[in-house]
Structure 1
Amino acid sequence: MTTGDVGILKSTLLPSLGLYSSLSLATFVAAETTNRVELKDWLWPSGQVINAWWSAVGRPMTETGMSFSDAWTGLTWTEKLLLGGVSIWGARLFARIASRSLVRGKDDPRYDAVKKERGFWKSALFKVFLPEALFLSVISLPVTLPFRMGDTTLWMGMNSLTTVRALGAGLFSAGFALEVMADMQLELHRKERDDLCRHGVWSIVRHPNYLGDTLVHLSFAVLNLADSFNPIILLGPIANYCFLRFVGGDKQTEESQDVRYQVNDPRKYQQLRAWRQEKNSFWPSLHDLANPWALAVVGCGLMGVVVEEVLKTTFVMQ
């Protein structure tokens, strides 16, 4: 372990873990009181936004006494893109989770089975809530480390930096669009039909919303390449991917679907089994890349590149 590694642990990981642990503890108390595990999902996007803004603006204001305007002005264009990206992503996802929760009026069905386990609430803080705080600390590295340790280990020419920044903007726009379309299409489908949603972007993979989330978090790491890059930030999108694939996300969703559909909706269960033979849960096949909806997502990514260039020209080069 190098001196730089120790500095990152002290300046970024430990403060993030402290923040997320505190928020997770408060969320756990509220969740146990209301018997709704899903409250931890409210923290997932909001916690990342809070941490990013505190790292970029709140901490400098507190430590140096500078104004909000000065703290914001002191950020580079790429840092503003990072902060804006995580804010847009987090605000939309939080609104989606919260509104769906309020309309449903009860806990997410994914958590019904775990709550039936003996002594669930006695161990939930240490088995569910705090482990997610640890994951969040690592996942947030691309949107916290640049603001806390601005040194870089990578140097590129101006043209290369512009290309990398455009790639980051494109990945974010494509991932964000994929998440939005997946949620909207699923919501409309549920109002009209009672079978599995397998059209639109859901015809690309079984869980396009999680694929979109992965692209968004990957874009944050790519944007770091255009400014203050440290290889450790790559742990962020890797941790996010591992969580979505092997801890929560599609793994948890499909395990819950298996249990619920076998008992309550055999037709959906048969559709799910057939769908698994046709589509991957997370990554599209080469054939699926020609899907019109996949091309639409790529188009949204290209639009994002254009928008980023227009904004940079308007607000940076004026």
Structure 2
Amino acid sequence: MNLGMQLLLIWAFAVVLMLLGWQWQRRRSNAGIVDVLWAFGLACSALWLALSGSGALTARALVGGLAAAWGLRLAWHLWRRVRSEAEDGRYLALRQYWHGDQRKFLAFFQFQALLVVLFSLPLAAVVAHPDPSPLQLAGAAALWLFSVLGESLADAQLARFRANPANRGRTCDRGLWRYSRHPNYFFEWLHWCAWAVAALGGPLVWLGLLGPVLMYLFLRFISGIPFTEQQALRTRGDDYREYQRRTPMFFPWFPKP
């Protein structure tokens, strides 16, 4: 199956998925479900690309196994938060800014369907690789494992900090959060670097390299860090400003004294 047809079917699936998610948030006033469905949509996309791809079996197995596992882990982690907590402050601010206009929320959800297709491109580059070397795939798998373990650890450390009532209104600066204000985002970005490595030497290598570039731009300038930090400043004020002063934003490094 050619790439265009693969992506068209992914988009059609994502459109339906996000339409159902939009209906869910209408009933519950919680747009955080969009993040769950984005991760789940990419997991399903990885499985579909692995089954319909034309490249080496090893490359397709890597995507079908590891990329799907990454998406399902992230979706499950986000779902546990969405189902048990109030709407994330970022989406609550958006709801207030849009005055609850459901037409804008529908457009927002469908934009996320397009992002599922966009971030499927690096995976499509891997499943089209006709002959990746075993060393190359082993390196990609090692980078994937390191990134997923790092993101899981960051998520667990933040969840444990937030679960303690004594930390209410305070900023988590423990563990990985001592060295980066967004270690979960950093490891999320690193995950996409694994697919760039796996796509090297293939006919669609440029799509593989697109993954870490796009993810960095989205996290750093569009939908990740800017919204997260605005919300943190609204809720934690000077405590977060001090955290900003001493802690690197994205790439982990030692904090300032």
Measured in 1, the distance between the counterparts of 2:196 and 2:26 equals 35
- The corresponding residue for 2:68 is 87
Size of the aligned set, in residue pairs, is: 250
Structure 2 counterpart of 1:166:
138
Q: Gaps (5+ residues) in structure 2?
A: none
Question: Which one of the candidate residues 16, 22, 42 is aligned to 1:22?
Answer: 16
Q: Is the 8 A contact 1:210 1:282 kept in 2?
A: yes
1:141 aligned onto 2:121: yes
Given the alignment, which residue of 153, 157, 179 partners 1:204? 179
Q: Which residue of 2 aligns with 1:63?
A: none
Residue of structure 1 aligned with 2:84, choices 89, 103, 118: 103
In terms of mean alpha carbon deviation, does 274-283 or 45-54 score higher?
274-283
Contact 2:15 2:113 in 1 (8 A): yes
- TM-score, length of structure 2 as denominator length: 0.86
> How far is 1:239 from its partner?
2.0
Structure 1: gaps (5+ residues): 1-6, 61-70, 262-268, 289-318
Report the RMSD for the aligned CA atoms in angstroms: 2.5
Q: CA deviation at 1:228?
A: 6.3
Structure 1 Cα separation of the partners of residues 162 and 27 of structure 2: 30
1:302 is matched with which residue?
none
Normalization by structure 1: what TM-score?
0.71
* CA spacing shift, 1:124–1:36, aligned 2, 3 Å: same
1:274 aligns with 2:249: no
Identity value in percent: 27
Query: 2 CA distance for matches of 1:275 and 1:184?
Result: 20
Structure 1 segment 29-178 matched on structure 2, within 5 A: 29-57=23-51, 59=52, 76-104=57-85, 106-117=86-97, 118-126=99-107, 128-147=108-127, 150=128, 161-178=133-150
Distance in 2 between the 1:273 and 1:244 partners? Answer: 20
Match of 1:284 among 222, 235, 252: 252
